[in-house]
Every structure is written in structure tokens, then in C-alpha cells.
Chains A and B, each alone.
Chain A
Amino acid sequence: MSNNKIKLTNITKKFVTSEMETHALRGVDLEINEGDYVSISGPSGCGKSTLLSILGLLDTASDGEYMLAGHDVSNLSVNQRASMRNEHIGFVFQSFNLIDELSVFDNIALPLRYREKALSQEEVKQKVEACLAKVEMTHRAGHKPNQLSGGQQQRVAIARALVNDPAILLVDEPTGNLDSKNGDAVMMMLAELNRQGTTICMVTHDPRYADMAKRKLHLLDGVMADEFKMELAV
């Protein structure tokens, strides 16, 4: 039996200015279960980053219902959303979004500082080191982000997204700022993480990388098109 992590029902997002109204998403329904590896692709401006932002509670839907790990998160306060993000979501950004003033270790530890129940120094160290090992960046723990290559920064960002054991990893164009070699390496890492049980929802415009997901969703003009599932060969 699958464990439902995310359920979107009739999600709509409108951008309203004095001159016009733009519908970025129109009545989107989506379910993601535990262990899924979902890719969302589509042409530029189709609404895929908007969808991912709403999934990550970085943006608010204009209408619709959003259930995350069994909680209705449609109408939460700012701090409640922050708590949900911290507890259930790991976000990987296209532009990495690491903090240059902090070391790699401290960047990865950042989500742990915002937990409801604080961890001891030892517990933080254990968790961070485990994540560093997963992304093979243990040897760079003391470095600052601006001392790393793009690929290395993205691996650190992935480690940060994993450190709090989130229900789902949301990945926004992870290879957008990387060359093909580093991009391939990051995608291999994501595949491996999914193999180890991490639920992933990824937005990408690259069809090669979209194909690496088990479920491929297509967004066009704010509407979810037919689903193409990749069936694993047994």
C-alpha cells in the first residue's frame, strides 16, 4: 500500500496586476506517494516552477487544497508554513542558494537549527556528517561555498535538503547552472537517493533528465497533461 505524501486538489495560481490577470496554474491535481520519483517538465513559462514553489510552501496557491504528509497546509500562518517546510520538505534550488558566510558544515546544519525540538551539538554533527557522506562531500566540510565548484555546491545543497529527513525532496532545475558532466553526476546522485527510499519531485526542462524519473508529468499552460509512467523493467 502506498503512503501518500502530497495531494494537490484543483490548485490554481493567478497573478493579478492592474492591467491583467495571468493564470499560471489552472486546476492542477497531483498525488505523490512515498518512494515516488516524479518529474514535471514543460516549455518555458508553463508554470512548473510555480507548481514546485507551491509544493514547497514558498508560494501560496490562489485556490485549491494542498495536503502535505496528511496535513492540510492550504491556509497556514507564516510560522506554521515555516515549520512544515522545516519538518517535511527538502528543497534543492537551481541556483543552489547556499549562504557564503557559512561553512559547508554550517550550511547543511542550518535546517536543524530551526527544528521545534532542538538537537544537541553531537546529534547535529552526526546528522550532518551522514549527509555529507551521502553526497561525498565530507572532505569539504570546512570550506565556504564560494570555494566550491558548481557541482560541489549543488551536492551540498542536496545534503542540506536531506539533513532533516524530509518527507519529500523538491528539486527545481538541479542541473540548470551546471555543465553536462556535473549535471549527470547530480542526476545520478538523485537516482541513487530515490533508490534508497527518498521521495523526489523534480522540475526540469531537460527531457533526458525528465526520463530518469519513474513518473513523468507534463505541464502545459498551467494545466497538467497526460501522465507518462516509466515502468520499471522487471
Chain B
Amino acid sequence: MSIIKEEFKLAVSSLLRLPGFSLTVITTLAVTLAALAVVLNINYLVLTKPLPYPNADKLVVTDQSETINGETQYGFQILSAQYHIYKDEQYIEQMALMSLFGAKLRDLPDTPYLDGIRVTPEYFSMLDVPMHLGRAFNQQETINDKQRVVVLSFEAWQTHFGADSQVIGTYTTIGNDKYQIIGVAASHFNAPEVFGNFPMFAWFSFDQEISRTSNWGNITGGVNGIALLKEGTSIEQASSALGQQINELYQGLDDVAANTAIGGRFVPLKQKIVADSGEMALLLLAGVITLLFIAVTNICNLFLSRAVQKKRVMAIQAALGAKTQHIFLGMFSEALLLSMLACIFGLLIAGWSMVWLANDLQYMFPRMQHLTLDPVTISASIIVSVFISIVMAKLASQQVPYKQLNQTLQSSGKGTGAQISSLTRNVLVALQVGLATALLLGATTVLSPAINKLVKDAGLNATNVSYIRVDTGSLTEGFHDVSQQVKNQLKLLPQIEDAALTITSPLQMGWENYLYDENNEMLGIVSVGFFDENSFALLGMPMLEGRSFSSLQDSENTPQEIIISKALAERLFKSESAIGKTLQAAPNEPLTVVGVVDNIYVPDNRDSYAEERYYLPFEAGARFALTFKSNGLVDKAQLLEALKEVNPQLSIAYFETLENMLTTRLRASKLVAILTMSLIALALTLAAAGIYGVLSYSVQMRRYELGIHLSLGAHTGHVIKMVLKQSMQPVVFGVILGGVLAGIGYLIGTRLLAMQITGEFTVLLLAIPVMVAISVLACYLPVRSVVSSDPLKALRNE
């Protein structure tokens, strides 16, 4: 024990004498370990950490498929089809039916909106939802019981009900109905993110009649189920059998288009939650691991220099009888001290970063509410640090020439006898360049799509345009007049230049509907928007052909018109004009194409844009909204006042500027861009510093030689060229190595892991000159310092 204590004491005193070396190692490793800790935690949460529900590995989500003209898409469900699955007793042991729902809390002064889902009682038992107050739904509060009960989330209870412990059993008006609050979920419960990464504030009972025939009109991603299959039933069996059954029900409906079918595509719950984010998590991990290798290569160089410095001391120790393990212990003490300090700092940085990033990361990854320095992450960081220490100590202690100690001892460490071999230096440079190039190439494949999304013009004018959704309260009729009055009332406000009616936000690309030709042949499921006659002008969407809708003033005569996007027109009608053609949004309800509008490019979770779109004339209902263009800030209170002028029942359900809405949609892309650019910057900095370190060292070793060249009359340019030529050889090799590594990574990603890796070739080609330029600079700077000073200094090795 005493020898270990002595070695650590010696290590502390030695390192205190070398602040530059110590700080460089600690900083390099701390920053890298911080990045590693964050990304390891993300990967653990997304890919590995078990879901916190009973039988989590057996739970499945009852996704459906829809096939139209041979093309299949997934993730859109029909409530009655899900109800059929819910009632099945052959394959389903237990199932929770879910449907997205949200409404205003009308009894509260500011009538906040409560986002949640309707669920059946099985939801609580299957997920073992812990309750803070009250109880979960019972079997008398399931579908068709027409009960209106609600369980609040802990956060909603605190925020909207003042954490009142007497809230259980009370009634509150949600939307237009009274709900009894029967429970408050515990604060640590996290609802499974089946519908996306957003928080859940309430669980409502199903209060409507649902049957196998009642709800076939809507095909939506807002309905789904979580099921436990019967023992011995595989996902494929259940999916296939129940898919067939719901398709038979579907085909039995009236007006079902030919060449369409629905089916089942059940997926494990974990897979549904993770979705595509697993790929991004792995890409991030690959990037950070590459960064770690670059940092380790850097530190190798530093430790080799340290070993050269310490070679004489190690040789003395060996001469006095120190065995290889004693020598190793000496270097290991230094390496471990530095890496543990780096680990501590790194974890502190990681912890701080997690707090800062958690909110934004949830746009990219599920389960980010658990992002924290958990024991797994801390242990992994410590293990990596200890492993690096062992590698560095081994590398450094191998510099002792045990069989020829006399050479080191007799030279006394003077002159250039002790130095890192040129092969080692070249390998270090080539490795750093290779790893940095590989990371750069890989990162650009992630960065360029993100940047493309960020800079892509949406195709509509969002400047000074806002969106307001109107809550019609308990109104049950007269929506057409009310909506027109609201539009006119808003236009009276001095800041508002124009207003247009709609049902959803113009950025809502996910509302999709069937499209048929005049013969009721299904043409596809297409994104649909509901606009009035001046929506297109207000949003700056140029009409490429034809005109906007006819006037919608007459509630009795909604024009039977349709406007389609350029992409849709090209697919359906090729080079023919679309104007005057007939299309249908529902069978036997012909609509005339009156206009073709340019495509818009609204960013959403998908990789591509929904360029195919059609627009139907706005028809007022209980749900309506407006977009308006203003010439200044419009106060929410002013808007509310304007609504109340029309009808006291009206209030604001949602209000936001289109610019902010677009920014929110681009948050994930922005985060990807920031993370990737940070990774690139860090990698290039470490690689450049590492290359500079190695080449600076080798130029120092050659000072005397370069001094001779200069004193014999060589121009500085000639000397620089000579050194650069030799220094660039491992750089060129490294760039080629980087390309090969990137290629291998691409093959592993696409062939083995079935990842979608894309990237523009031109951007990839840009990465290589960047790497070469940085390497040239790192090579040039050390030699410049030698040639720019007096040759005599070089000859004297000053």
C-alpha cells in the first residue's frame, strides 16, 4: 500500500510542476467526457433503459396500415377499427384504447387549455399508473358508459388547481362538458410517448358512443391502442389476423374506394416510442466516440512527450530495481489523477448541459425528462477514464528500454537522444487527421439536411402574420355568421390589414384526407387545407394558374371548388392544365379545380415536405380559426375584446405568430445543426491542436538542422516548403484513412443498421479541403516560428 501512496504523492508533486501539461490533458478529456456522458445518457434512455411499466417488453401499439393503389403508409388509425381490436378476445389479453383530446378549463379565470388523451380504464392498470390522490378509472367508466371523469397530471393539478388536496370528487367544466376529477397521477409517472414527445396533462374517459360501425370517417394519428397479447400469440399473428378482420369491416362500408385496404401493423411499445430517434442517437454516439478517439490520440501524444521527459527518472527507478509494474504504477498514478479530475469536471459540465439541453432535446428524442447524471452514466464515464489511464500508462511506461537502461542513464537525458520516434509522430498525425476527417464527413451528412431545412423558404409569407383559433364555447349553431363577423371585427382593428378564415393553421400539413377522381377512383391520401377566398393572397402564396375560391359569404352555397398544389397538379395531370378538371374529397361529391397554387415547404417531423396538397373552401363549424396580417404588434387582450364584441361566448383557444410557429417546428433541426456543428468544431480544434503539438515537437527536434539550412543561405520559403512536404505526408494518408473510415461507417450504418444516411456530395467534398487547410496551418505555424527568428538561435538550439 505504501508504494501506491508514495507513487501518488510523487505524481501530485510532478503534475503540479507541469501546469501546462496537466491543464491540457484535463481540459481535453473533460470536454470530451462531458459530451460522451450526455450522449451516453441519451442513448441509454432512448435505446436501452427499460420502460417503467409492467410487462413493458410485451406491450404493443396497435398501429394500422393503409394501402392505396399498392402504396402503403402506416401510423394512421380509425377509431372503430381500434374499437374492434379492443373488443377482441382471441388475440388480445388486455388493451387500452386512446384518443387525443384537449379542451379549455372553462371554470378557471384564464381558461387555460388542457392537453390530454381519452383512455379506457385498462390504461391505468396496464401501465400501473401511480396515483398521488384519488383513484384511476374503474370498469364503470369505460367506453359507452358515457361517464365524464378525469385524472389530472401532477403538474396540471399544481398549475391549475393550486395543488388543492380537496379537488378529488369536484367537478370542472372542460370544453362544453362537466367532468368529475377523480384522481391526480403521481409526479414521477411519465406517460408513454405514443403520440409524440409532448407532455400529457390529463386523462379523460371516453364519453361518446363507439361501435364497430360508428367512427370510420376519420383516419388519424391521434387514435391508437396499447395492448398485451395473449400468451403464445406473436405480434405478427395478432397483427395479421386482426388486420384482416378490420379490413373486412372496412370493405363492408358504403363508398369504399377501389384498390384501398387497411390492415394491422402492431409494433412493440418501445419501438413506437423510439421511432426514428434511435438512428439519430446512434449517429450522435458514433460522433462522440470518434471525438473521444481524437482526444485520446491527442493525449497519447502528450503522454508520450511526458514519457520522454520522464524517461530518465523511469530508467533510474528501473536501475534501482523497480519492476515493470512499479514503473507502470508511476505513470498510472499520473494518468489516473488527471483523468479522474477530468472526469469530475466533465460530469459537472455534462450535468449543467443536461439541464440546459433537456427542454430542447425532447424535440428530438423521447424520455428526455429523465436526462440526468444517473449511476449508469457516471459509472460509464469513470470506466472510460480508468481505461484511458491504463492505456496512457502502458504507452508511457513502454518507453523505458529495460534491456538497455545504460543508454538512457549515461546520456542523462541531454540533447536529442530522448525523443518520440518519427514513425510514432506520423502515426499520431495520420490518426488525428483520419479521425477528424471521418467525423467531418459523417457529421456533414447529418448537418446538411438540417441546414437545408433551416434555410428552405417555406413558400408562404409568415412575416407579420398570426394565427388565432377561436373557442366557440357553448354555441351550437350560427357558426357561419359568427365566423364572418369575427373576420370583419378583426379587420376593424387598426393594426390588422387583412384576415382570412380557416379551420387549422396553414402550417398543419398532417391533416390528410382522401382524394378521388371523378370516377371515385382513389388518388391517394393527401394533406388538406381549408382556406377562404383571400387566404392565398394574405399568405403570399402565388396562384400559378386560375384563381382563388369564389366568395364564401353565402352560407347556403359553398362553392364546389378545389385548389391544388403544383406538385399534385403535375402528378395528376402531367403537362395538361388542371383548371376545370374534376376531383373529389369524398365519393360522389365532385369539385372543380379552379386554381393551382405553388408548393409550400412547411417543416415537420418527416424528412421530406408534403408538397402535394389540396385546398377546400372554408366551411364554418364549431371549430374555426383565422390568419391575419398585421402592421404591428397585436395584443391578445385586444383580440379577445374583438371576439367578445361578436359574441360573449367566444374566447381565444390558441394565438401565435406564424414566425414563432415555424421556429418551433424548426427547433429539432436547429438543435441537430447546433449539436453537429459543436461536434465538428470540437473535433477540428482537438485535431488541429494535436497535429500542431506533434509537429511543433518534431520541428523543435529539427531546429539545429533547419538552422544549418538557413545559415547556408536557404530561403525561408524553401525551408517551409521542405518541412511542409514532409509533414503533409501523414496528413494526406490521414485524409485517405478518414475517407475509408467514413465509408466503412456508411456501410455499417446502411447495411447492418438499416439507417437512412443522406448527404450532398458537394458538401462532402467541401469537408476534405477544410481538413487539409487546418492541417496545413497546424504544420506551418511551428516551422514559421523557427524560420522567422535568427538562424544562430537555431544553431545554438536556443
Return A110 CB to nearest CB of chain B, in Å.
5
Residues of B within 8 A of A79 (CB): 323-325
Contact A97 B404 (CB under 8 A): no
Nearest chain A residue, comparing its CB with the CB of B313: A99
Q: Which 7 A-B pairs have the closest CB atoms?
A: A86-B321, A53-B406, A114-B321, A58-B406, A58-B405, A79-B323, A95-B412
User: Can you report 12 A-B residue pairs in the complex whose CB atoms are below 8 A from each other?
Assistant: A49-B410, A58-B405, A59-B403, A60-B403, A60-B404, A79-B324, A83-B323, A94-B410, A97-B312, A113-B2, A113-B326, A164-B321
Beta-carbon contact of B14 and A97 below 8 Å? no
Q: Tell me if B317 and A110 are in contact (CB < 8 A).
A: yes
Counting CB contacts under 8 A, is B17 at the interface?
Answer: yes
Q: Is the pair A121, B2 in contact by a Cβ cutoff of 8 Å?
A: yes
Q: Which residues of A contact B324 (CB under 8 A)?
A: 78-79, 82
Q: In the complex, which residues 3-62 of chain B have their Cβ closer than 8 Å to any Cβ of chain A? A: 3, 6, 10, 13-14, 17
B748 at the A/B interface (Cβ < 8 Å)?
no
Interface membership of chain A positions 91-132, coded 1 if the CB is closer than 8 angstroms to chain B and 0 otherwise: 101110111011000000011011100100100000000000
Summarize B's interface: helix, strand, loop or mixed.
Answer: helix
B382 at the interface (CB under 8 A from A): no
Given A58-B409, A93-B409, are A83 and B321 neighbors across the interface (CB < 8 Å)? yes
Say yes or no: is B633 at the interface (Cβ < 8 Å to chain A): no
Is A218 an interface residue when CB atoms closer than 8 A count as contact?
no
Question: Residue A85 contacts which of B6, B14, B319, B326 (CB distance < 8 angstroms)?
Answer: B319
Residue of A nearest to B1 (CB): A118
Q: Which residues on B are within 8 Å of A, measured CB to CB?
A: 2-3, 6, 10, 13-14, 17, 312-313, 316-326, 402-406, 409-410, 412
Question: Of all chain B residues, which has the CB nearest A177?
Answer: B412
The answer to whether A34 has its CB under 8 Å from any CB of chain B is no
The reply to whether B410 and A118 contact each other, CB–CB distance below 8 Å, is: no
Q: Which residues of A contact B320 (CB under 8 A)?
A: 85-86, 91, 110-111, 114, 160
Q: A97 to chain B: which residues have CB within 8 Å?
A: 312, 316, 319, 409, 412
Known: A49-B406, A58-B405. 14 other contacts (CB 8 A): A53-B405, A56-B406, A58-B319, A58-B406, A78-B323, A78-B403, A81-B402, A93-B410, A95-B409, A99-B316, A113-B6, A114-B317, A114-B321, A121-B2
- Check A118–B3 contact: CB distance below 8 A: yes
Q: Does A87 contact B (CB under 8 A)?
A: yes
Is the pair B321, A111 in contact by a Cβ cutoff of 8 Å? yes
Question: Closest approach, in angstroms, between the C-beta of B37 and any C-beta of chain A?
Answer: 34
Residue among B313, B324, B404, B409 with max Cβ neighbours from chain A (10 Å):
B409
> Nearest-CB distance from B57 to chain A (Å)?
51
Question: Least Cβ distance of A154 to chain B in Å?
Answer: 14
CA distance A121 to B3 in the complex (A): 11
Please report the C-alpha to C-alpha distance between residue A99 and residue B322 in the assembled complex, in whole angstroms.
14
Q: In the complex, how many angstroms separate the beta carbon of B307 from the nearest chain A beta carbon? A: 15
Nearest CB in chain B: distance from A65 CB, A: 18
CB distance from A88 to the nearest CB of B (A): 10
Which of B317, B324, B406 has the most chain A CB atoms inside 10 A of its CB?
B406
Interface size for A (C-beta < 8 A) is: 33
Residues on A with C-beta less than 8 A from B17 are 101
A40 to B678 alpha-carbon distance, docked (Å): 66
**Number of residue pairs A-B, CB distance < 8 angstroms:** 86
| B13 contact set on A, CB distance < 8 A | 101
A50 partner residues in chain B, CB cutoff 8 A = 406
Instruction: Select from chain B the residue with minimum beta-carbon distance to A59.
Output: B406
Complexed CA–CA distance, A59 and B10 (Å): 28
Query: Across the interface, which residues of A come within 8 angstroms of B3, CB to CB?
Result: 113, 118
Q: Which residue of A lies closest to B412 (CB)?
A: A95
CA of A130 to CA of B402 in the docked complex: distance in angstroms? Answer: 31
B503 to chain A, nearest CB (A): 78
How near does chain B come to A163, taking the closest CB pair, in angstroms? 10
Which residues from chain B contact A114 at a C-beta distance below 8 Å? 317, 320-323, 326
Question: Please, how many angstroms separate the alpha-carbon atoms of A59 and B401 in the complex?
Answer: 10
Least distance between B153 CB and chain A CB atoms (Å): 61
Smallest CB–CB gap between B317 and chain A, Å? 7
Least CB distance from A120 to B in Å reads: 9
Chain A residue nearest to B410 (CB atoms) is A49
Are B318 and A82 in contact (CB-based, < 8 A)?
A: yes
Alpha-carbon gap, A91 to B322, bound state (A): 14
Please give, as numbers and ranges, the residues of chain A lying within 8 Å of B313 by CB-CB distance: 99, 101
Q: How far is the CA of A82 from the CA of B317 in the complex (A)?
A: 10
Distance (whole angstroms) from the CB of B653 to the closest CB of chain A: 73
Residue ID in chain A nearest B314 by CB atoms: A99
Smallest Cβ-Cβ distance to B320: which chain A residue: A111
- Tell whether, in the assembled complex, residue A102 and residue B10 are in contact, meaning their CB atoms are under 8 Å apart: yes
Residues of A within 8 A of B322 (CB): 82, 86, 113-114
In whole angstroms, how far apart are the Cα atoms of A190 and B361 in the complex?
74
C-alpha gap A197/B774 in the complex (Å)? 67
| A161: min CB distance to chain B, Å | 9
CB-nearest residue of chain B relative to A79? B323
Q: Which residues does chain A contribute within 8 Å of B402, judged by CB atoms?
A: 78, 81-82
Q: A59, B405: Cβ atoms under 8 Å?
A: yes
B319: contacting residue among A56, A78, A87, A115, CB under 8 A: A56
Residue numbers in B under 8 Å from A87 (CB-CB): 321
Instruction: Please indicate the chain A residues that have their CB under 8 angstroms from the CB of B405 in the complex.
Output: 53, 58-59
Q: How far is the CA of A15 from the CA of B3 in the complex (A)?
A: 37
Docked pose: A78 CA to B10 CA in angstroms: 24
Task: Report Cα–Cα, A115/B322, bound state, in Å.
Answer: 9
**Chain A residues whose CB sits within 8 angstroms of the CB of B406 once the complex forms:** 49-50, 53, 56, 58-59
| Most chain B CB within a 10 A radius of its CB, from A82, A102, A111 | A82
Give min CB distance, B95 to chain A, whole Å.
Answer: 68
Q: Which of A82, A101, A111 contacts B14 (CB 8 A)?
A: A101
Docked complex Cα distance between A102 and B2 (Å): 16
Measured CB to CB, the nearest residue on chain B to A94 is B410
Once A95-B410, A101-B17, A118-B3 are accepted as A-B contacts, the answer to whether A59 and B319 lie under 8 Å apart by CB is no
Once bound together, how far apart are the Cα atoms of A121 and B325, in whole Å? 22
Residue of B nearest to A60 (CB): B403
The proximity string for A residues 32-51 relative to B, scoring 1 for CB distances below 8 Å and 0 otherwise, is 00000000000000000110
Q: Which residue of chain B has its CB nearest to the CB of A88?
A: B321
- What are the residues of chain B within 8 A of A113 when measuring CB–CB? 2-3, 6, 322, 326
The interface centre, meaning the residue of B10, B316, B319, B324 with most chain A CB atoms within 10 A of its CB, is: B319
